[in-house]
Every structure is written in structure tokens, then in C-alpha cells.
Structure 1
Amino acid sequence: MDIENTSELRLLIECARGGSLTAASREMGITPAAASAMLKKVEARLGVRLAERSTRALRLTPAGERLREYAQRALELLDEGLAQITEGLEPDGAKGGRSAALRGRIRLSASSDLTRRIVLPLLDDFLDQHPGVDLQLSVGDALQDVVRDEVDLALRYGELADSRLVARKLYDGRRLLVASPEFLKRHGRPAHPSELTRFECIRFKIGERLERDWRFWRRDSPPVMPIDVTVQGRRCADDGGIAHQWALEGRGLTYKSELDIRDSLASGALVEVMPEWVGRPMPLHALMPSHRFLPLRVKALVDHLAQGLRPSPSRRSGLSV
């Protein structure tokens, strides 16, 4: 092997994190001279320059950054394996046996409204159950590149197009047309999708694309051609949580995933408009990079989310298109 020990991998990680050999040596408990010698030794053995040095700073080269990414994953997996065979066995009362403790960091990316209203309590519960797990949560509706941005797990709505990823469906929902009771009292209620052109609608911007057309199917009927309606409105957001809040304040109709709004529907803060019609399929998937081994802690979190998001029978949609 061209890497002799884990200290060489850790040096690369600490150099990237601290931006200098001095900072890296301090974290590793060695002298700056020893850190410099170790880095030069690795570069000589690999035959490639891993870092650009100046008198005060250090920056990884593209080759160094690529190696650092794999080093980070490798050390995390090694830590998990060591935990399982040493301190990592703890009683499993439910089965009368012993189960492996979970350790390490999980980098999770999820949309804002879903996280704040649905997922956050599930994450807190998971962390309470597994004190050895650290969570690094990235919240926002802009899509991240799971591989490039070093995300262990991403929760995303909609159909999937990236064949590089492993996906598990967590929830099979749809979009619904909703509004607050106050809005409907003031402005009336549309009876057919074609009438939406006369109403104030809260729209979304996904990336650079403004979502102008809302699609509907008849509920509980044989699949037929959908109806597309071009809607108008003075409010548009690239954050689902803001659109949700505007709807709660009676600012307009909105077209949201039923999972995001299920608590608002249950409380009556929002009501379903035109319940005989449903919107686009909006399945929620857990996405994971396919090119590396899946740590047990990530698999355990996916299982936990799948259990927590499981809909009750009364919430299941009767339409499949």
C-alpha cells in the first residue's frame, strides 16, 4: 500500500481543516517539523504533490483534495468498525442479545419545511437513542450534489434522475392544493382547477426555474390525462417553509407536498381545497452515494426515518398514476 498508516491520512485531513502544517501538527500532537516530514514522505511515495505550501498557509492540490475525501470516509468507517468490536457492544433488551453501538458523523441534507415541521423531532429522537452519533445537518431547498458535497444522506422529493445514487422511498405522497380558512372565507373556493387563474397563488422557484404550472388528477378515478393550469400570484419563494407560512397567514393558495403540511391540515390551520383533485406525485426518497460502503449509522437513521414517516391508513392516497 502507498499509505503506511492512518496518521498519514489524518494529517491530510487536519491540513485541510486547519489550513497550515502548524495547525495540523497541533491537533495531532506532533511537531510542525514532524508533520512536514510526514507529508513530504507521502508525496514522495505517491509521486504526486498533495499540497501547496507558503510561509503561513497550506492549500491542498486537486489530487490532495481527492485523497482527503476518501481519507475522511475511510477513517470514519474504521472508527465505526473498531467501536463495534471493542466498546461498541451494548445490551439489546428487546431481543435479549447484544447490538452494535453506533458512532461517527452523519452529514444530512434536507429541505427546509420538511426538516422543521416533520424531520427534526425524528432526528432528535435518533440522537437521543445513539449518543455516539454526531449530526451535521444542511437545510435548504437548493439541491446539493450528494457525491461532490460529501453528503452521507439526502432527503429529496420527486422522481429521481441521478443513476449514481442509491435511493430508498420513505413516503409515497402527492401535492395538495391548500389554503387557510380565512383566505377561503374572503375569496371563495375554486371548484375546478381551471378556476385557479382567478385566485392569488403562492408559487415556488426551484433553482432558476419558476414553477408556473400546477397539475391535477381526479382522485379515486381511473387514470386519465391530467389538467395543467398556469397560475398567477404576487408571492414566489425558493423556500418551502416561507410558502407554507404565507399560506397559514391567508396570503393565497399553495400547492404543497402533503407530508410537509399534514400537521397544518390536522390542526385545521390549512384546509384542502378541491379535495376531489390531487396534484403531482411527490415521493420522498433517502438518497445515498452508491460507490461506497454504507455505514451502519446511516442505515440506522434511514430505517428510523422510514418508521417515523410511515403514514397511517387514513392518510394513504387512493390514486396511482
Structure 2
Amino acid sequence: MKIENLQDLHVLVETARGGSLTAAARALELTPAATSATLKRLETQLGVRLFERSTRAMRLTDAGQTLLDYASRAMDLLQEGEAQATSDARALRGVIRLAAPPDLTRQVLIPWLNEFQAENPGLQMNLSVAESMQDLVRDKVDLALRMGSLQDSSLVARKLFSTQRVLCAAPAYLRVHGSPETPQDLARHNCLSINVAGRRLTEWRLHKQTGESATVKVQGDRWSNDASLNQQWALAGVGVMFKAQINLQQQLNSGALVRLLPAWAGEEYPIHAVFHSSRFVPTRVRSLVDFLALKFDGTHGELSHNATI
């Protein structure tokens, strides 16, 4: 094997994460000179350049990115192997670094994750919640849950669920303004829209299972870039919302929100579990994905029931 010291790979990983040898030295409690010497030794042993260096930053080469992907997963597996070898081999141990969208986390995932950890007390959960897509390597993420189409073909994904955007409003709003009977009626309602990348989305596209479709230009007196804020407004009775049904299920079940035009829905939003690779996934991460898949599968009946209300 060309790599003589596996600890050298830690320098590669921390340099990539921190963007500099200084950051790597700080993370590993070494001197910058020591980290620089280690990286040069690693490049010499492999006969390839791992980073392109500049006065401002260090950028991974293609060879460096390939080695980084494997090194990160290999170190995770070694840590898991050490934990399994020194404890009950059936018990799940270690840290799961999970990234997920805010609404899905707050409305759906929290009780499921609590249940999973209660069943596996040796686990720790590092949960990162953000609207933007996170870089799994740079942000030290083991597993990401993503809604919508996937753009990065280099990642491995497992589809867990598919949901749709649905129309809803609070009973208080409907008592004052009535319920729309057709998609075109939405043009006369106060609709809560979303800003995406600075652009207000005011065209709502709906379709029926029969294939019939409609696009409605909506308007309203408030909008935001935070879907959870729109949900609070809808619950307060100020307007009509168009949002992924999975994130509304608790309020639909309780009657705090009412499904409108149940024969109509928006485009489907798949929910994927995304990994670095299908080969190097720690057992604790695979177990969580299997657990979530069962939980999502159990929600199909609830969503189908609400679709007929």
C-alpha cells in the first residue's frame, strides 16, 4: 500500500473541510508546518497532486476529491468498527450527522428521531437543519434528507416517500371568505406565496388524477421565504396556503387546517435519503434509513384519507 500512515489521511480530510493547512493544524492540534509536511509526504507516496494551492485557499484536485471521499468513509467505518468491537455488537453506537429541511424536521421527523434514539441509547444525533442543500463532505454529513428532484448525480439516493403540494386554510378563514369551488376561484382569495431566490412564486399549478390541469395566478397581502412562517399565517386564519402535504399532516388531522379542492394537487415532491456512497455507509446510518422508510410508509394511509376529505 502506498499510504504508509493512515493518520496522514486526517490531514487530508481536515484541510479539505477547513480550506487551509492552518485550519487543519488547528483541528488536529498540530503546527502548520507539520500539516504541510504530512500533506507533501502523502502526495509523494501517491504520486499525485491532491490540492491546487493559491495565496487565498487550497482547492482539491480530482484525485484529491476521490481520495477524500474514500478516506472520510473509511475513517467513519473504522470508528464504528472500534465501537462495535468494544461493546455489544448488536447495539448501534456513535454519532449520526443528519441534514434535513426545517419544515420536514419540525413537522415530521422529530418524534421519529426521538423514538429511534430511545430504541438505540448508544447513538448520538447531530442534526443540521437548513433550507439550502448542504455539501455532505464539506459539512461532515453522514445522511441528508432532501425534498424534490436531485441535482448532484455523484451522490447515492434512496427514495423514501413522495408527497404533493395541497391547498388548505384554517376554519376561521373559511368562515369569513368561503371555500373555493374551482382552481380559478383562488384568484379571489388571499393566497400566501413563497419567495425563492428573491422571486415571488405566484403561479400555482394544479392537476387531477384524470390528467386535467390548471395554472392560477394568485395574489395576497403577505409572502415570505420561510414556508413555516406561511404555515403560521395560515393557522392564524389570514389566507390560503399551498404546501407539501406531509408537512401539514398534524394540522389536517386535528382540523386546525382544512384541505381545499381535494381533487386537485400540485406536483409530486419525492423525499430521498442521500449518502456519499452505497458501499461505505455505517450500520447506524443504514439502520436509521430503514427505520425512516418504515415510518414514511406508514403515513400513506393518513395522506390517502385526507385526500378524500
Partner of 2:6: 6
The answer to whether the 8 Å contact 2:69/2:276 transfers is no
Partner of 2:96: 106
The answer to whether the 8 Å contact 1:217/1:225 transfers is yes
Aligned mate of 2:216, from 215, 225, 229: 229
% of aligned pairs identical?
A: 41
Aligned mate of 1:119, from 94, 105, 109: 109
Q: Which amino acid aligns with 1:26?
A: E
CA distances 1:140-192 after superposition (whole Å, capped 9, x unpaired): 22234556755432222234455433333323332211111111122222111
Aligned mate of 2:156, from 157, 166, 169: 166
Which stretch shifts more, 33-42 or 283-292? 33-42
Partner of 2:267: 280
Partner of 1:81: 81
Partner of 1:19: 22
Aligned residues: 300
How far does residue 273 in structure 1 lie from its aligned partner after superposition? Answer: 1.7
Aligned mate of 1:128, from 95, 118, 123: 118
CA distance in structure 2 between the partners assigned to 1:184 and 1:51 by the alignment: 60
CA distances 1:269-289 after superposition (whole Å, capped 9, x unpaired): 111122343332233222233
Instruction: Verify: 1:294 aligned to 2:256, yes or no.
Output: no
The answer to whether the 8 Å contact 1:200/1:234 transfers is yes
How far does residue 34 in structure 1 lie from its aligned partner after superposition? Answer: 6.4
Which stretch shifts more, 36-45 or 237-246? 36-45
Partner of 2:189: 199
- Give the direction of change, closer, same or farther, for the CA distance of 1:180–1:21 in structure 2 (3 Å limit): closer
Structure 2 unaligned spans of 5+: none
How far does residue 195 in structure 1 lie from its aligned partner after superposition? Answer: 0.6
SS of 2:211's equivalent?
coil
The answer to whether the 8 Å contact 2:259/2:306 transfers is no
Partner of 1:305: 292
CA distance in structure 1 between the partners assigned to 2:120 and 2:288 by the alignment: 10
Instruction: Verify: 1:315 aligned to 2:303, yes or no.
Output: yes
Partner of 2:245: 258
Q: Which amino acid aligns with 2:8?
A: E
- Give the direction of change, closer, same or farther, for the CA distance of 1:207–1:104 in structure 2 (3 Å limit): farther
CA distance in structure 2 between the partners assigned to 1:227 and 1:260 by the alignment: 23
CA distance in structure 1 between the partners assigned to 2:175 and 2:120 by the alignment: 48
- Give the direction of change, closer, same or farther, for the CA distance of 1:60–1:125 in structure 2 (3 Å limit): farther
- Give the direction of change, closer, same or farther, for the CA distance of 1:136–1:266 in structure 2 (3 Å limit): same
How far does residue 88 in structure 1 lie from its aligned partner after superposition? Answer: 4.4
How far does residue 39 in structure 1 lie from its aligned partner after superposition? Answer: 4.5
Q: Which amino acid aligns with 2:127?
A: L
- Give the direction of change, closer, same or farther, for the CA distance of 1:272–1:163 in structure 2 (3 Å limit): same
SS of 1:232's equivalent?
coil
Q: Which amino acid aligns with 1:5?
A: N
CA distances 1:88-140 after superposition (whole Å, capped 9, x unpaired): 434xxxxxxxx3x3334433222111111211121222233334434332212
CA distance in structure 2 between the partners assigned to 1:163 and 1:276 by the alignment: 34
The answer to whether the 8 Å contact 2:192/2:240 transfers is yes
SS of 2:7's equivalent?
helix
Which stretch shifts more, 12-21 or 104-113? 12-21
How far does residue 4 in structure 1 lie from its aligned partner after superposition? Answer: 1.4
Q: Where do residues 204-219 of structure 1 align in structure 2 (5 Å cutoff)?
A: 204-218=194-208
CA distance in structure 2 between the partners assigned to 1:109 and 1:124 by the alignment: 16
Structure 1 unaligned spans of 5+: 91-98
Give the superposed CA RMSD: 3.4
TM norm structure 2: 0.80
- Give the direction of change, closer, same or farther, for the CA distance of 1:147–1:164 in structure 2 (3 Å limit): farther
SS of 1:278's equivalent?
coil
Q: Which amino acid aligns with 2:304?
A: R
Q: Which amino acid aligns with 1:155?
A: L
CA distance in structure 2 between the partners assigned to 1:88 and 1:158 by the alignment: 39
TM norm structure 1: 0.78
How far does residue 80 in structure 1 lie from its aligned partner after superposition? Answer: 1.8
